[in-house]
Amino acid sequence: MENRLFLVRPFFLVLVLVVLLFMPSMTQAESVDNLRVVGLYSETAAGSVSYRLGDDNWKKVNLADELPAEAEILIDVARDWVEFISVTNPNAVYEVRGEKDRVIQVTLATILAGGPTREVTFPEASADIDPAFANTLVVKEYLGRQHYIREDGRRVEIKYGDILEVGGDVNIIGINNTLLLALPNGEDTIIIGPIRFTVETILKGENLYKYLNVH
Whole-angstrom distance, CA of residue 209 vs CA of residue 21: 59
CB neighbourhood size of 181 (10 A):
23
Tell me: cis bond preceding 194? Omega within 30 of 0 counts: yes
Rounded to two decimals, the pTM is: 0.81
pLDDT (tens place) for every residue of the chain, 215 residues total: 555 544 445 544 444 444 444 444 443 334 568 999 999 998 765 557 999 999 999 999 999 999 999 999 999 988 899 999 999 999 999 999 999 899 999 999 999 999 999 999 999 888 789 999 999 999 999 999 899 999 999 999 999 999 999 999 999 998 889 999 999 999 999 999 999 999 999 999 888 864 444 43
- CA distances to 188, 193, 213 from 184, in Å: 9, 22, 14
CA distance 159 to 138: 10
Four-residue CA torsion sign, 64, 105, 118, 77: negative
Cα 144 to the chain's mean position, in Å?
14
Domain ranges of the chain: 35-119, 131-214
Q: How far apart are CA 48 and CA 74, in angstroms?
A: 8
